[in-house]
Structure 1
Amino acid sequence: MIAYRPVRKMGTTSISGFGQVQYDVTPKLQLVGGIRIEHEKRTLNNAYAHYLTNGVVTNPQNYVAKQSQDYTLPSAKFSVQYHPLSHDMLYFTFSKGIKSGGFTVYNTSDVNQMTNPFKPEQLYAFEVGNKLIIPKYNIKFNADFFYYDYYDRQVQSKVYSPTTGSAIGLFVNAPKSHMFGGEYEFAWSPLPDLHISQSGAYVTGAYDKFSTVVGAQKVNGIWTGISQNVSGRTIDVPHFTANGSVDYTWHTGRYDVVTGVDYSLRTTDHSLNAVNVLPGYTLWGGYISFAPHNGPWKIEGIGRNITNKHYDVTRGYFVGGDNIAVAGLPATWEVRLRADF
């Protein structure tokens, strides 16, 4: 009998302190600043992945007694807000953020690889934008442009087992990368019972300094990863995403009927690994409801992905080399009765 037992124990300790101040320079100009200091320590103890044959461990060396990682880092935010009009705000924001590091700990036969820690990700973000409301025309419009500088960005990559040559997925750090783009939100009610909303974002970026493993070769009986410099390559994100909806309320005697349609769109999500590329797609939905004016009950009909679009929400592969994908939901329909007591 052959059995496989991956086991590990993990712990996290975190201590932080923060503060924020706001100063009104003038009635139209405000300054806001804040800082946070965080200390975090992560530990992983007694990690092993043993094969048992007739009750006997055949790979006792596949064991890591302890791994640990800790950091003490600041995060901060500073913004300038200016109100040129009573319903308009221009702003600039600088912020620094921290994303915790850790251990990949996939269920793999190579404990040394799965317990190798990845460092915390640090982000320096610059954003300028405008928030506008025009009450007379029932319009709300927000827009912003941003630039992100990443240090030690956490990226899903892979290594290869030196004994079996099998690919092992794990998180690594890209030393330097950047992203930039813009986003918007628009809401409009041209008629009292008609509501239109739309939002979207364009994002792009690239690795400024990063080498990743793209394959393996056997040298003197040991499998060794083949690294490739991917500096300058586009970061794996869908470049454009959008969402929108339109709904109208029909008044029929003592009752209201609301009908609406919505959509969501995303372009192709590229990846360093061709297996992980996700083609873009657009999904449509519909909505209808029937209820008395300010009444205690409502009947709703909801349709999602009403065109029955076939799409995947994630793609990847198993250690053995088999490609996998998780499909998105097909067309779904729901009838719901709501009542308030």
Structure 2
Amino acid sequence: MKMVWAAAMAGVSMAALGAGAVQAQDATSAAAAQASDNEIVVTAQRRSEKLQNVPISINAFTGKQLQELRVTTAADVANISPGVFVTGSRGDQNPVFSIRGLSLNDTFSNNNPEVGIYVDDVIQPFTPMMSGQLFDLQRIEVLKGPQGTLYGRNTTAGAINFISVKPSQQTSGYVTGTWARFGRKELEGAFGGGVTDTLAVRFSGKTVQQSGGWQYNDLTGQTIGKVHDVSLRAQALWTPTSRLTVSLEGTYLYDKSQPQQRQHVGYYAADGSGAFCAAGLAGYRDPNTCVDLLGYHDTDPNQRHVSDGSIYGTWSVAHGAGVNLNIGYDLGAAKLTAISAYNYYNRSSPDDSDGSPYVELDGLFSDKIQSFTQELRLASNGSGPFTWVGGLYYSWDRIGGDTLQALDDFPFHTRVDTSYVQTTNSYAAFGQAGYAITPKLKLTGGLRFTRDEKRYTYDAVDLNPFGDSSLPPTAGFVQNHVNQSNLSGKVGLDYKLTDDAMVYASYSRGYKAGGFKAAIAFNPDETTPFRGETVDAYEAGVKTTWLDGKLTLNAAGYYNKWHNFQASVTIIENGVSVITLANAGDARTYGFEAEADYKPTRNLSLRVTGNWLSSKITKFNTQPGSDDFTGNQLANAPKLTLDGQARWETPIGNDHVGVYILGDASYRSKTYFSLAERGQNSQAGYWLLNGRIGVHDRNDKWEVAVFGKNILNKLYISQSYDNWGGAFPSSNYLGDPATYGVQVTFRY
């Protein structure tokens, strides 16, 4: 049965290569019934605009599209948006996004990412906060390039907006149940409507219960991948007058799950000589001839099997909550918006970092996060020649991390407790204005001032529980701080060639604050703060609509100069050589991106997107005796990404019922996961094929669908850690195998 299903869905998806889909018809929403993406309304520039009128690179997806493409986590966005790549620190624990080659090269939780992640206008400042489930979304917007002149928190690579469905006076809701491979059961739903003439509410939630998993531990004889997850959201919208809107949102999540465990990757010769193995030098993993420092190698030919023996168990437990108050007041000529939000997120997560039965480096990571943000924004109303938006922003966040590391079987024969507390105060003033010089030509300019103040307390203690530790002395108790101010901005021009064609060009500078290393340190100099990074981003593009709105063709070229980018490097501090997170040097990226949406008939929708990227480290801050990565390409930056969908629908039964077939495919070319460009820590180019077949009634009140993800069961590396030449082995994480299931939805 599995093979029949895979063959059927592979045929559907193969037909989708080089194609794509626009949003499906949805009788419950007038917006979703429109014919093409040029009618999607977005708020990327802090005002409602049609997607095709926004002079920046942006991809937008409706809630209906997200459901059909089975975008269930933030990381899934990378499979549908060109130039976007995502890796997950410690499996899927900390999703780290890369846009056009710019990403965070750090596995710990305390450093802010290059890509700003916003949920209902509120920044999620740390990567663990985006590891949960997505549900009840109105749309997702993916913005490429710096966005500092319009958004509260500054970023260098771009921003991704997750926008939930809002309360309304109309009573509505839905219930969706999903049954999938590995004992996975999902229940998602929402309901809401008017309570009074001025008050509307909406309640939504999702739970995921999974009794099995695709990864098998040879050591324990158990599968890994169980999930117990609950996420809830409650919203209230009060409109006492035509000018005043008050929106209050509360969220809660609880997640107890088994994250994926590491695949062991040795690089020393099995003969015990201490030399590097031939396979590792040639750039590939060979567990038969390559071992780690203790002589271990994982020879199980099934790569989805591991032999991990973490003494801290396999269960990760997280819980969090938040509240968001959004107040808007129409002043006539302008609208005033005030957004206040508080979030906390706590998690404890084990990790067998060596990926072996030995306790070489087993860890228990704990994160405690608090975040408060306050944004005050004033934006012009109307459609005159002069439009503007200005704002003030303040945020305070605190992250406390504690890492227990066990080296029981390693020659050090000890356990270590590493902890830190980092607090950040960020202040900003930002604004952007546009002026229509002529009815067709518009000039846009913006400025931003940012002030970041970070305080850091660090401690590392050798617990020496066995009384014979040979670990070098740790850094001990250290306090430090970094303060930095920055002025950045944007200037751009866009020109309307016709009502259906626009060209644009822009220059912008992005900035991301400095920070601190959170991993174990053996010298206080390793905790020296690194400074902020900047990127100078140039972009020129065209947006066009053809065939009475049936076809949209958009394209953009870009060039980024990345200054003082942050990465793990070997540096000299006060005459001491240390490995630390620091300003690694400079890099550049350039490329070309294109997107086409075509609806040749009422029944057929096609979409294809692509991004070609060239990245290069132009300057590396190397020290004598350490590696020099000048000339290498950036990590997590595949040269070519392709995404395509095809959706065909036909009515049956006197037009009372519709049947649709959806196929989607994505391609990522060879990807290096470290700056060293080591073949052993890379993934060759690969395709992922997915599909869906659904039946629904004319009014879209119910739907039954079957779906498949990675239906050809492609085995690929989703993340790799390069420890080449060190005391501990390297390791890999793998992408999910083939999954399939049934989904039933009722709407009202």
Using structure 2 for the length normalisation, give the TM-score: 0.41
Q: 2-side partners of 1:180 and 1:249: how far apart?
A: 39
Question: Aligned equivalents of 1:156 and 1:204: distance in 2?
Answer: 22
Structure 1's consecutive aligned runs of 4 or more residues displaced over 6 angstroms after TM superposition are: 54-61
Distance 1:207 1:88, change over 3 A: same
Is the alpha carbon distance of 1:61 and 1:171 closer, same or farther for their aligned partners in structure 2, counting shifts above 3 Å? Answer: closer
CA contact (8 A) 2:473 2:522 kept: no
CA distance in 1, matches of 2:512, 2:474: 33
Structure 2 CA distance for aligned equivalents of residues 93 and 35 of structure 1: 14
Q: 1:234 to 1:7 in 2, by over 3 A?
A: closer
Task: Give the partner amino acid of 2:629.
Answer: V
Among 155, 172, 196, the alignment partner of 2:606 is: 196
Partners of 2:521 and 2:527 within 8 A in 1: no
Shift in Å at residue 25 of structure 1?
A: 0.3
Q: What residue identity is the alignment partner of 1:244?
A: G
Does 2:570 correspond to 1:154?
Answer: no
Q: 1:137 to 1:42 in 2, by over 3 A?
A: closer
> Contact between 1:64 and 1:111, CA under 8 Å: does it hold in 2?
no
Identity score, percent: 25
Aligned 1:220-235 pairs, distance under 5 A: 226-235=625-634
Q: CA deviation at 1:56?
A: 11
Aligned AA (2:651): H
Q: Determine the C-alpha separation between the residues in 2 that align with 1:229 and 1:2.
A: 33
CA distance in 2, matches of 1:197, 1:141: 10
Ranges in structure 1 where 5+ consecutive residues have no aligned partner: 214-224
Say which of 202, 207, 220 aligns to 2:617: 207
Letter in 1 for 2:737: P
What residue number does 1:103 align with? 516
Residues 46 and 146 of structure 1, relative CA distance in 2, 3 Å threshold? closer
2:464, 2:526 → 1: CA distance? 20
The reply to whether residue 36 of structure 1 matches residue 439 of structure 2 is: no
1:305 equivalent to 2:710? Answer yes
* 1:53 Cα offset (Å): 4.1
Q: How does 1:109-258 map to 2 (within 5 A)?
A: 110=522, 112=524, 115-136=527-548, 138-157=550-569, 170-212=580-622, 226-236=625-635, 237-253=637-653, 254-258=656-660
Q: CA deviation at 1:153?
A: 1.3
Report which of the two has the higher share of strand: 1
**Which residue is equivalent to 2:501?**
88
**Residue 136 of structure 1: SS of its match in structure 2?**
helix
Secondary structure, counterpart of 1:229 in structure 2: coil
8 A Cα contact 1:268 1:280, kept in partner: yes
Gaps of 5+ in 2: 1-412
Q: More relative contact order in 1 or in 2 (CA 8 Å, sep 6+)?
A: 2
Aligned-partner Cα distance in 2 for 1:292–1:140:
29
CA contact (8 A) 1:37 1:75 kept: yes
Cα separation, partners in 2 of 1:293 and 1:129, compared to 1, 3 Å: same
| Alpha-carbon spacing, 1:146–1:52, altered in 2? closer, same or farther (3 Å) | same
Q: Which residue in the other structure is 1:283 paired with?
A: 688
CA 1:334–1:118: 2 relative to 1, 3 Å: farther
In structure 2, relative to structure 1, the CA distance for the partners of 1:336 and 1:120 (3 Å cut) is same
Greater per-residue helix proportion: 2
- Aligned residue number for residue 196 of structure 2: none
Contact map agreement 1:284 1:306 (CA 8 A) in 2: yes
The 8 Å contact of residues 69 and 117 in structure 1, kept in 2 or not, is answered as yes
SS where residue 651 of structure 2 aligns? strand
Superposition RMSD on alpha carbons, in Å?
2.5
Q: Deviation per CA, 1:236-262, whole angstroms, max 9, x where unpaired?
A: 321000100111001102100010111
Equivalent residue pairs, number: 323
| Alignment counterpart, residue 667 of structure 2, candidates 247, 265, 269 | 265
2:474–2:523: 8 Å Cα contact kept in structure 1?
no
**Given the two structures, how large is their TM-score scaled by the length of structure 1?**
0.87
Question: Map of 1:306-325 to 2, 5 A cutoff?
Answer: 306-317=711-722, 320-325=727-732
